[in-house]
Amino acid sequence: MSKSQIRPFKVDIPDDEIERLQRKLRDTRLPGREIVPGAGKNYGPEYQWAANLYDAWNNDYDWKEVQEEINAFPHFIADIEDLNIHFLHARAERSDAIPLLLVHGWPGWTLQDTARIFDILMKNLGYDRYMVQCGDWGHFVGRELGANYTESCRLVHCNFAPSPLPDGVEYTERETAVAARVDDWVENHIGYAVCMRTRPHTIGIALHDNPIGIMMWVGEKYNEAADPKSQKTPFWTKAILTTASLYYFTNCVMPSMLTYYENVRHHNFAEFAMQPENRIQVPFGYTSCFWDTEPSSKRAVERTGNLVFYKERNDGGHFAALEIPEGIIEDVRALATQEWK
């Protein structure tokens, strides 16, 4: 692929689509009360949380303003293997800067496919060697790059890395605390994944033209997978509504679910990381955020690759790059300073 096949892109949602979303929001009826009296958080997000979020979307949120903020960053489209790949790319001013690929997910096919496409993209941007920072499903993209694209992917930093502890070990205080969080997540919060990995068409069609459905589906994870302090910031409401708006405008809520259908299931994450073909061969670092959905510890993660950097943070959760960007930047720089040759 030649560089001429990379072209600038601008987010430009037509006015009639924005107005249609606003009409649908105005025409929505919420239940007006808890459906199960005294439900609290036991049945999902609290009713008042949903009502407040809906009210903010309906009355306060300005898509045009957000679109301008989004377009302040340099967007591009690349044609790779007959696909249009949308990405952001800011070239460093320094000629000796380390190219950094930031990945959180996500296209609805195999993660190995995503890694292959991203490696091609980086090379066509002129980066023969690069570093990866990754979380969520992006961890498995970064793991694939660090395992099988070692000539180009030279360093990996993860803020999500499900990994098994050695058998028979006595848990540390932190391992005990995060194990309780993992157990709660698997027992009470995994329904979304089961649905998407088994019946993506059902839930995909149900949510396709349903903005409040998307708001609840997406917002629940922002509500439950983040540091409680993150959830109390005004920015958090904006982040949820922007994500929901993008899913709605781009018709990609169902395609986003296919990642769950096509790839490793949550209860096999740790086992997957232990397989020899998935072992990270290049040096990699891991930042363990306490409020993540499946926080791991050093002696677990080091079993899955060439771990050379480990940091525990008691703030931040699953959306670490969004919640604690300064902390992630600090850890990425520390790893790069230590290991980039």
Q: How far is CA 184 from CA 100, 190, 303, 324, 325, in A?
A: 34, 9, 24, 23, 26
Half-sphere exposure for 196 (CA within 13 Å, toward CB) = 22
CA–CA distance, 194 with 200 (Å, rounded to integer): 9
- Asked whether the beta carbons of 197 and 260 are under 8 A apart, the reply is yes
Which residue is catalytic, options 119, 136, 227, 331?
A: 136
Is 184 one of the annotated active-site residues of the chain? no
Establish whether 75 is a catalytic residue.
Answer: no
Indicate which residue of 104, 139, 157, 318 is catalytic: 318
d(CA 11, CA 67): 7
What is each CA distance from 244 to 77, 136, 205, 212, 300, in whole angstroms? 22, 18, 15, 9, 35
Q: Is 12 a catalytic residue?
A: no
Beta-strand (E) ranges in the chain?
6-9, 75-80, 83-88, 100-103, 130-134, 153-158, 280-291, 305-317
| CB atoms closer than 10 angstroms to residue 136 | 22
Residue among 110, 151, 104 at smallest CA distance from 128: 151
Taking phi over 0 as left and psi of -120 to 50 as alpha, with beta for the rest, 329 belongs to alpha
DSSP secondary structure code for residue 97 in this structure: P
Give phi and psi for 285, each to the nearest 5: -120, 155
Say which of 130, 247, 260, 286 is annotated catalytic: 260
- The CA-CA-CA angle for residues 321, 326, 332, to 5°, reads 75
Both tokens of 331, joined, read 């850890």
Catalytic residues: 136, 260, 318
